Amino acid sequence: MIKYTVFPDYFSLSKAAAERIIRQIKHNPLTLLGLATGSTPIGLYARLIDQHRRGKLSLSRVTTFNLDEYVGIPKDHPQSYHVFMQKHLFDHVDIPPARRHFPDTDKSGTQYDLQIMRSGGLDVQILGIGANGHIGFNEPGAAFDSKTRVVELAESTIRDNARFFDHSDEVPRQAITMGIATILQARHIILMANGANKAAAVAAAFQERPSVNVPASCLQTHHSVHVLLDTAAAGDLS
Ligand code: PGA
């Protein structure tokens, strides 16, 4: 089942997403969270940090599994998702380092999926959406039964990412990502999108029949998805 909520702006969208996560953690302090990177969840993470600083939220028993990481840049590269998570969440809250997980080319993707399963499965997976409809780094064409694996990035994704790197030859061309099947195993999924550049992807994902050409459309087959949009990202929905 998909529930849609449209917010007037990014701030209120982020606040609502954070409140959903905070409710989940208060209900079950041992929550397993699937985390996303990118510009979209920064406001949500900022709100979690704010609540933690005010003494209203502890994440000390939460376990996290990140969606993806680049292949070909070191973990301490300023654009790595390890560094992104430090900067935007981990350095500011009390999730123990041993409870934070990333897919890693040192291990097989299958091991990552097994680790998630053996830990009890993801309670909530947070997702953004790419302008091309990708979720994690499952690019158009990714099979709906895909598991965690190394993938080639779409040319459009490489172009979108180029702004974060000094030289175009530095921009990673591969990543390791949870698969679509891995994501769909989460009990609940929150997809956030803001900005007009996401409007076409959102409409293609939720108003057309599910197709591997629009990876986020797989979410139509899930039993508990909440799509949080700002008015711009909802602009192409009828
Ligand atoms: P963004 O990326 O949050 O930076 O827009 C989302 C995505 O590509 O999944």
For residue range 124-155, what is the model confidence (pLDDT) as tens digits? 999 999 999 999 999 999 999 999 999 999 99
Per the annotation, the verdict on 138 as an active-site residue is: no
Residue type, 179: G
Which residue out of 69, 113, 123, 139 is catalytically annotated? 139
Enumerate the β-bridge partners of residue 101. 65
129 lines ligand 1 (CB under 6 A): yes
Confidence of residue 33 (pLDDT cuts 50, 70, 90): very high
205 lines ligand 1 (CB under 6 A): no
Per the annotation, the verdict on 155 as an active-site residue is: no
Task: Say whether 90 sits in a helix, a strand or coil.
Answer: helix
**171-222: pLDDT as tens digits:** 999 999 999 999 999 999 999 999 999 999 999 999 999 999 999 999 999 9
State both tokens at 181: 């099947």
Rg (the chain; Cα; Å): 17
Question: CA 9, CA 78: separation in Å to the nearest integer?
Answer: 29
pTM score, two decimals? 0.97
Per the annotation, the verdict on 92 as an active-site residue is: no
Question: CA 181, CA 152: separation in Å to the nearest integer?
Answer: 18
Distances in Å between the Cα of 202 and the Cα atoms of 19, 130, 132, 209, 227 are 22, 9, 10, 13, 9
State both tokens at 100: 């934070």
Helix axes 42-53, 81-88, angle to 10 degrees: 40
Percent of the chain with pLDDT over 70: 100
34 lines ligand 1 (CB under 6 A): no
Question: CA 204, CA 3: separation in Å to the nearest integer?
Answer: 16
40 lines ligand 1 (CB under 6 A): yes
